[in-house]
Amino acid sequence: MFRVLTIAGSDSGGGAGIEADIKTISALGGYACTAITAVTAQNTLGVFGVHPLPAAFVRLSIETVLGDIGADAIKLGMLANEEIICGVAACLPAGVPMVLDPVMVATSGAVLLPDGAIRALSERLLSIAAIVTPNLPEAAKLTGLPVDTEAEQVAAGRALLAMGARAALIKGGHGTAEVLSDYLVTPEGVEKISMPRIRTTSTHGTGCTLASAIATGLAQGMALSEAVHRARRYLQEAIRTAPGFGGGHGPVNHLVVEKCFT
């Protein structure tokens, strides 16, 4: 069993963050360890409170896990503030593949990362992650470029590589087309990954889920492209079979088994 350390916030509604990560990693056959950066009060209707944990405690959590259990991959999610980002960056191990999901705004629209923290994320984490996985608004925020068309998705991915990223997956889920396209941009080229849009409000935590699924694939020794493709198939089936909880943006079905989407 391969180990995945997820460093992210806790979602009291269970659809995103640490809770989504643990379920995703477990569903795909990994062993999840955690370092919680913040606790949140949220449900499908929105985020009603965010309480970041002390940066020193977040760092202690990471060092405690890595010093004993270890990790075959690391997923970075909501990092809450600049102090936590700098503390996390200071204790991440070399040689372990990391997936950076630059969580900035919740599905409900709540801002989860202030501007100073976004700069710290770009400067301290972008270059050490194996891949960064922004959605369209996050890609625009990171690069300062418009990201409204598929050509602009590719341009944003290339801009992130120019900023130091090793690879970028520019996710198209915020677009309006009936076929949604993600673009995997690496120094070797560009790969388009398309899926039919599923008309649903069950989209809470999709970014967390995808990033954790990619991290699990990397932990299991998959090549980056293979890990991304499996993660995308898993997420599509998780959305398709979502339980329909809540009156807003509900969670996906993290417990979908692999035989359903391979």
Which one of 23, 75, 141, 171 is the catalytic residue? 171
Asked if the model's pLDDT at residue 259 lies above 80, the reply is: no
70 is catalytic: no
User: Domain limits at 40?
Assistant: 2-132+200-260
208 is catalytic: yes
Which one of 17, 87, 205, 250 is the catalytic residue? 205
Give a yes or no: residue 172 inside a domain: no
171 is catalytic: yes
Number of domains the chain contains: 1
Q: Please give the mean pLDDT across all residues of the chain.
A: 95
Q: Give 35's strand partners.
A: 7
58: left (phi over 0), alpha (psi -120 to 50) or beta: alpha
Give a yes or no: residue 38 inside a domain: yes
Alpha carbon of residue 232 to chain centroid: 12
pLDDT (mean) for 70-81 = 98
CA angle 237, 28, 235 (to 5 degrees): 25
Q: Strand 179-186 vs strand 168-170: parallel, antiparallel, or unpaired?
A: antiparallel
In the block, residue with structure tokens 């409000």? 201
Give a yes or no: residue 145 inside a domain: no
- Predicted pLDDT of residue 178: 85
Which one of 37, 44, 133, 206 is the catalytic residue? 206
Give a yes or no: residue 163 inside a domain: no
pLDDT tens, residue by residue, 203-255: 999 999 999 999 999 999 999 999 999 999 999 999 999 999 999 999 999 99
- How is residue 77 written in tokens? 């999610």
pLDDT tens, residue by residue, 140-152: 999 999 999 999 9
Give a yes or no: residue 18 inside a domain: yes
143 is catalytic: no
Is the distance from CB of 41 to CB of 113 less than 8 angstroms? no
Rg (CA), the chain: 17
Number of other residues whose CB lies within 10 A of the CB of residue 48: 12
Ranges of H-type helices in the chain: 17-27, 55-68, 82-91, 115-124, 136-143, 150-162, 206-219, 224-240
Give a yes or no: residue 100 inside a domain: yes
Give a yes or no: residue 45 inside a domain: yes
173 is catalytic: no
Give a yes or no: residue 77 inside a domain: yes
pTM of the predicted model as reported, rounded to 2 decimal places: 0.96
Which one of 37, 40, 143, 203 is the catalytic residue? 203
- Predicted pLDDT of residue 107: 64
Which one of 77, 207, 217, 250 is the catalytic residue? 207
- Predicted pLDDT of residue 109: 63
pLDDT tens, residue by residue, 163-186: 999 999 999 987 778 899 999 999
Which one of 30, 86, 172, 208 is the catalytic residue? 208
- Predicted pLDDT of residue 19: 99
- Predicted pLDDT of residue 174: 75
Asked if the model's pLDDT at residue 262 lies above 70, the reply is: no
pLDDT tens, residue by residue, 83-109: 999 999 999 999 999 999 999 876 666
Here the CATH number for the domain that contains residue 42 is: 3.40.1190.20
d(CA 17, CA 37): 10
206 is catalytic: yes
